[in-house]
Amino acid sequence: MSARTAARVLADAGPTMTLPDVATVLGLSRTHCYDLAREGKLPFRILTLGHRMVVSTAELRRLLDGGAA
């Protein structure tokens, strides 16, 4: 099984993305992405659903397109 590319992860994304997928898109390690999320240092909102942290795909796309999240 090969690793998914950032473009593929973003293309396959639904309304929300998990932090491991966000990490792939941003070129970060999973651990670093979780650390940044816990510290409130990611430039978009983190939604916590139970024990799961997710990000709005629309917000991430706006950030990647050069807009504010």
* pLDDT per residue as tens, the chain (69 positions): 357 788 899 999 999 999 999 999 999 999 999 999 999 999 999 999 899 999 999 999 999 998 765
Q: Give the chain's domain count.
A: 1
| The model's pTM | 0.85
The CATH number assigned to the domain holding 58 equals: 3.90.105
pLDDT for position 1: 39
Closest CA to 46 of 68, 12, 22: 22
Rounding to the nearest 10 degrees, give the CA dihedral for residues 21, 9, 63, 44. -20
- 1 domain-assigned: no
- 60 domain-assigned: yes
pLDDT for position 35: 97
pLDDT for position 69: 59
Could you tell me the residue range of the domain that residue 31 belongs to? 6-64
HSE (side-chain half, CA atoms, 13 Å) at 8: 4
pLDDT for position 61: 94
